[in-house]
A and B are shown apart, each in its own frame.
Chain A
Amino acid sequence: MKTWQKLQKHPSLWQRYFLREKLIRSIRKFFDGQGFHEVETPLLAAHPPAESYLEVFETTLLDRQRRPTKAYLSPSPEVPLKKLMVAGLGNCYSLTKSFRNMETESKLHNPEFTILEWYRVGADYKDIMKDCEDLLKFINKSVILGSEATPESDLKDRFWTSQNDDKKKHQIIYQGRKIDLTPPWERLTVVEAFATYAKVNFEDFLDFQKAKIIAAKKGYRLESKTTWEKLFNQIFLNEIEPKLGQGKPTILYDYPASMAALAKTKASDPRFAERFEFYINGLELGDAYSELTDWREQEKRFKEEMKEIKRLGKTEYDYDHDFIEALKVGLPTCSGIAVGVDRLVMLLADTDDIADTLFFPASEEFGSP
């Protein structure tokens, strides 16, 4: 049965889908109230950001003589937003569709998804951490606690307010676990997370040869194409991610520099970059950086990524030279984040499947194998 048919049959299902419109309104209110500019960025991109972990959607732009030019569906609004900050826009955000290929057969991904990116000028990733805490609190207040329009009170029952606390303690239930959204959230470095949950000494793990031995001892399979990043993520996904964001959201920060293509490295330890992700009950909701402003470093990383894209046999494209030109003019010190809006709806709707948040999920439109 298609979603529209289910909705016709069970009108109570509408409430779950209406969470999205409430959420979108709430996000706009949050940023507009702080003087951020909302920017529309192209969905049809000439140069997607060079990131080897992504596969892009390639299409063809035809001129009036049918002469073709390669075009791509944008995988993120990041580069256009940064160009506008170079031009002097200041704090800004984009709430838009993004596209990533080869991400089917998953409850966490839809090939076309809604992304929220915001950037703060003069800020670093610690400021964005605070933004995340405030945004989630605001969403909870306006979407859930302020929702008189849910007579079934099905939603309200999941969110209770502590009577003797003036500040209103915000607690939500996601997939059977109570999560307290009250700031400050748990803050954990990648190094601490590996030590605590996987009993891995990250100093050793940074060395690829030692990392292989550590992974092999844990019973993970090593193959010729196993990269350091894959070992990192396999241990992370198996032993760490499921433990994050229980009781309180977790901010996981300071990633290895190799895993942050557009982030600034830490002045105190250049092996790590100022990047964080935040998790609620194992669900990854956002990915943030202190943005890289050095055009030489950016160009170097882009070229490395292009090589990696070629090596992996993914769709090849030229990196955005115009973006390097913009960085030469000077990107102000800034920090920003990409948040999965569909995943926020998952959280509010208490579902573990992104398809439950979409009227027309790709799995339904294209059929799932």
Chain B
Amino acid sequence: MSTITTADFHKGLFIEFKGEPHQIVEFQHVNPGKGSAFVRTTLKSLKTGKVQEFTYKSGETVTEIPIETQEMQYLYKEGDGYVFMNNFSFEQLQVPEAILSDYLHFLKPNETYQLLVHDETAVGIRFPKKVRLLVSEAEEGARGDTVAGAGKVVTLETGLKVTVPLFIKEGDTIAVDTATGQYLERA
């Protein structure tokens, strides 16, 4: 446990709020009329998933929660969860979909990811900014479209559909930006 102030706040930070672990989903500074500065945060409970707002005094101290980063391999989907295995201890961990929801279309079995773990529960994932994925389905040839920057839609091994330049073929591996879901380059 370490003590930090609101100046250290950033999205995704894990802090203690009313004795329970929470994650900062969003925060912004507010200055009430003729008043000093405050920080309005949106906090998500790690235990219940409940989201609530709380406004801190600017500079107020809070307790940061220690979060462990574990290298884990994604194995398979099971029910509503996703099973990962620790590469060193071989212990398995069921990760709820909510944590992975932004990245489901990039998730590949047998790949290693960095999971954030608190109290033996997965609380987040540090997903790579770009991933390499195989083009599993692509239309043959161009459709005679000669406009500069023209593209076509292909399907990747994870089921994700992306718009790519015409020269990309089935069997190619491409790099995709995980924040925007857009094609970056042929890998």
Contact = CB atoms under 8 A, between A and B. Distances in A.
Interface string A229-271: 1101110111001100000000000000001110000000000
- Determine which residue in A105, A226, A234, A236 has the highest number of CB atoms from chain B within 10 A of its CB, and name it: A234
A102 B35 contact: no
Contact of B55 (A51, A226, A238): A238
A234 B59 contact: no
A238 B31 CA distance: 13
A283 to B, nearest CB: 11
Contact of A225 (B18, B38, B59): B59
Nearest to A104: B29
Given A219-B18, A238-B54, A259 B35 contact: yes
Nearest to B62: A221
Contacts, number: 65
B30 A237 contact: yes
Interface in B59-84: 59-61
Given A223-B60, A237-B55, A103 B29 contact: yes
Contacts of B61: 221, 223
A124 interface: no
Interface residues of A, number: 33
A107 B34 contact: no
Interface string B24-50: 000011111111111010000000000
A53 B28 contact: no
Given A223-B60, A238-B54, A238-B55, A233 B38 contact: yes
A229 B35 contact: yes
- Determine which residue in A106, A277, A284 has the highest number of CB atoms from chain B within 10 A of its CB, and name it: A106
Contacts of A107: 28
Given A108-B28, A109-B29, A226 B35 contact: no
Contacts of A229: 35-36
Nearest to A52: B36
B53 interface: yes
B133 to A, nearest CB: 25
Contacts of B29: 103-106, 109
Interface string A289-316: 0000000000000000000000000000
B126 interface: no
A13 B156 CA distance: 33
A274 interface: no
- Determine which residue in A53, A259, A284 has the highest number of CB atoms from chain B within 10 A of its CB, and name it: A53
Contact of B38 (A219, A234, A277): A234
B57 interface: yes
A311 to B, nearest CB: 12
B28 A233 contact: no
A180 interface: no
Given A223-B60, A225-B59, A236 B18 contact: no
A106 to B, nearest CB: 4
A284 B40 CA distance: 15
B27 to A, nearest CB: 8
Contacts of B38: 233-234, 237
Contacts of A226: 57
- Determine which residue in A225, A233, A236 has the highest number of CB atoms from chain B within 10 A of its CB, and name it: A233
B31 A53 contact: yes
A108 B39 CA distance: 12
A287 interface: yes
A260 B30 CA distance: 18
A237 B54 CA distance: 9
Contacts of B36: 53, 227, 229-230, 233
A230 B34 CA distance: 11
A53 B58 CA distance: 13
B18 A284 contact: no
A238 B29 CA distance: 13
A180 to B, nearest CB: 24
B33 A287 contact: yes
Contacts of B53: 238, 242
A287 B33 CA distance: 7
Contacts of B37: 102
Contact of B30 (A53, A108, A221, A261): A108
13 contacts: A53-B34, A103-B29, A106-B28, A106-B29, A108-B30, A109-B29, A223-B61, A226-B57, A234-B38, A237-B38, A261-B34, A277-B33, A287-B33
Ranked 6 nearest A-B pairs via Cβ? A237-B55, A287-B33, A106-B29, A233-B35, A106-B28, A238-B55
Interface of A: 51, 53, 100, 102-109, 219, 221, 223, 225-227, 229-230, 232-234, 236-238, 241-242, 259-261, 277, 284, 287
Given A53-B31, A236-B32, 8 more contacts: A106-B29, A221-B57, A223-B60, A227-B36, A233-B36, A237-B55, A261-B34, A284-B32
